[in-house]
Amino acid sequence: MVPSSFYLVLSAILFTVGAVGVLIRRNVLVMFMSVEMMLNAVNLALITYSRFLDNIDGQIFVLLVVVVAAAEVAVGLSIVVSLYRHKETVDVDEMDLLKG
């Protein structure tokens, strides 16, 4: 049986790696993957606490987070594709203007 603290430490490490990825990388796709890693780290923490407290509320929140993450990816990637067609780059520094 694995203790809950191991899952929470893993969750903290995943969140930290995701946050560093968002702050350091300039590629939009890598930034999206880092945000998804951060959301999955939060999901792992919610599932851990849900299991520890014998309560299903954390698992319901995880389902909501997964739905929001799917919507974020759909909208975000459509924006990235549109900007790539216009600017021909996925570098964040090059995408400073949003006017048509």
- pLDDT at residue 100, rounded to an integer: 56
- Which CATH number is associated with domain 26-89? 1.10.287.3510
CB 65 within 8 A of CB 39: yes
Q: How far apart are alpha carbons 100 and 98 in whole angstroms?
A: 7
- pLDDT at residue 62, rounded to an integer: 95
- pLDDT at residue 16, rounded to an integer: 98
pLDDT tens for the chain, 100 residues: list them.
889 999 999 999 999 999 999 999 888 888 889 999 999 999 999 999 999 999 999 899 999 999 999 998 899 888 888 878 877 877 777 766 656 5
pTM over the 0.85 mark: no
Q: How far apart are alpha carbons 62 and 44 in whole angstroms?
A: 8
Please give the radius of gyration of the chain, using alpha carbons only, rounded to the nearest integer.
17
CB 34 within 8 A of CB 22: yes
**Domain ranges across the chain:** 26-89
